Amino acid sequence: MAGFLRVIFVTFALFGLSACLELPKSAKNYSYNGESVTTIEVHKADRKMYLLHGSKVLKAYRIQLGGNPLGPKQFEGDGKTPEGAYRISQHNPKSTYHLSLRISYPNDAQRAYAKRAGKEPGGDIFIHGQPGWTRVKGDWTAGCIAVTDKEIEEIYAMVNDGTQINIFP
């Protein structure tokens, strides 16, 4: 009888521990089965991002931008968020900021402009989550677009690589 109780106790203990363990981000299944996102629109001045199917808004988010958000990104380290038409080029499950979607900045014209100025255009521009357990106040990124961790999980599932993203002033 004591052996049977020990087996039950160990089984419940292991079950309880496993319930406390969280799967690594890369092992989680972020899924979405609604209408496809055909375009993302970012309106910097309004601090809003919209996921669209055609002209229908599927989701809207409050966003945070680079620490120097006025005007388009031109050079590495300028703290600006790009403006223009790009694509989502990669899903990153191992982001420092929970999860992230890479934006295809810079384009050829932006690279050429920076080169003429003797500078680098920058890169590594993403839509991503927060750097810790709480939401940082104000514009704080190095040029990226930040949302909450819960929101990036939703966006990560909804948006496919190759999706058009238009970033407006």
In this structure, what CATH number is given to the domain that contains residue 96? 2.40.440.10
Q: Can you give the pTM of this predicted structure?
A: 0.82
Mean pLDDT estimate for the chain = 86
Lowest mean pLDDT among 12-16, 30-34, 101-105, 145-149: 12-16
Is 48 a member of any domain?
yes
Spatial CA neighbour of 115 closest among 76, 163, 63: 76
Is 63 a member of any domain?
yes
What integer is the mean pLDDT of 27-55?
93
Domain count, the chain: 1
State the CB neighbour count (10 A cutoff) for residue 114: 18
Is 47 a member of any domain?
yes
Is 20 a member of any domain?
no
Is 116 a member of any domain?
yes
3-state SS assignment for residue 168:
strand
Is 96 a member of any domain?
yes
**Could you tell me if 167 and 50 are in contact, meaning their C-beta atoms sit under 8 angstroms apart?**
no
Tens digit of each residue's pLDDT (9 = 90 or more) over 58-111: 999 999 999 999 999 999 999 999 999 999 999 999 999 999 999 999 999 999
**Could you tell me if 137 and 150 are in contact, meaning their C-beta atoms sit under 8 angstroms apart?**
no
The boundaries of the domain holding residue 58 are 32-168
Is 156 a member of any domain?
yes
**Could you tell me if 134 and 90 are in contact, meaning their C-beta atoms sit under 8 angstroms apart?**
no
Spatial CA neighbour of 126 closest among 164, 77, 90, 168: 90
Read off the pLDDT band of 1 (50, 70, 90): low
Is 21 a member of any domain?
no
